[in-house]
Amino acid sequence: MKSTIQVHDKHFEVFIEQSVLEKRITALASSINQDYAGKQPLFLAILNGSFMFAAELMKSITVSCEITFLRVSSYQATESTGKVHQILGLSESIENRDIIIIEDIIDTGLTMIEIKKQLLAQNPSSLSVATLFQKPEALKQPIEIEYIGFEIENKFVLGYGLDYDGLGRNLADLYVLSE
Ligand code: XMP
Ligand code: MG
């Protein structure tokens, strides 16, 4: 039996080990280095979840670049309009810049669709997305994602920056809810 850890009321087991995560992240960085050769991209890392992925990715980025950190606040506006996402913390101009969004996980895709819409309105010269995880089965609308670390099944995951109710972001491996 796999060993489990408990976070709040739930049990989780190791799903993807740190070494596997890091190897894949290095490969993503290589693709980015090739695609952005001669350019100077601005990375926008979405807090809190992407901090560990962003740190690991940046260590293998060799093109000249900048990084800044954003927060997306979401709240329920009305029943009919659903969630509203507001981008907080973007003080630099992204006009005519090559932008790469760094996200931890894309689930329904609705958060990323809204982030992309708001950033595109500020006229970057290009906009791409690097996400460590994606749950293809959970996607509600089609969305273009240029760099995907791992496509995973539609189960709740934790660790490597991702939390369950605030806890677990410090775990170096990715965990999944035990059945
Ligand atoms: P959507 O559905 O808009 O949501 O793509 C993306 C955000 O939802 C959170 N999320 C998770 N967080 N384990 C987590 O710790 C998960 O399995 C998970 N799935 C979605 C996450 O904050 C992401 O930015
Ligand atoms: Mg997140």
Q: Which two tokens stand for residue 153?
A: 């099944």
- Give domain limits for the chain: 19-150
- Ion ligand 2 residues within 5 Å by Cβ: 49, 104
| Residue ranges lining ligand 1, Cβ < 6 Å | 49, 104-112, 156-158, 162-163
pLDDT tens, N- to C-terminus, the chain (179 residues): 678 999 999 999 999 999 999 999 999 999 999 999 999 999 999 999 999 999 999 999 999 999 999 999 876 666 666 676 789 989 999 999 999 999 999 999 999 999 999 999 999 999 999 999 999 999 999 999 999 999 999 999 999 999 999 999 999 999 999 98
Q: Which residues contact 135 (CB under 8 A, 6 or more apart)?
A: 105, 106, 107, 151, 152, 153, 154
Cα 124 to middle of ligand 1, angstroms: 26
What does DSSP assign to residue 170?
T
Which is nearest to 37 in space by CA: 124, 101, 98? 98
Pick the closest to residue 110 from 143, 149, 137 (CA basis).
143
Cβ(63)–Cβ(41) below 8 Å: yes
Which residues carry out catalysis? 107
19-150 architecture in CATH? 3-Layer(aba) Sandwich (3.40)
